[in-house]
Amino acid sequence: MPLLLSVRGKQNVIRRVGGPEDVKKRLEALGFTVGCKITVVSELAGDLIVKVKDSRIALGRELANRIFV
* Residues spanned by the domain of 53: 3-68
Residue-wise pLDDT tens for the chain (69 aa)? 999 999 999 999 999 999 999 999 999 999 999 999 999 999 988 899 999 988 999 999 999 999 999
- Closest to 51 in 3D by CA, of 61, 39, 63, 42: 39
Number of domains in the chain: 1
Find out whether 55 and 25 touch, Cβ atoms under 8 Å. no
3-state secondary structure 17-42: ECCCHHHHHHHHHCCCCCCCEEEEEE
Reported as a single tens digit per residue, the pLDDT across 27-45 is: 999 999 999 999 999 998 8
CATH number of the domain residue 7 falls in: 2.30.30.90
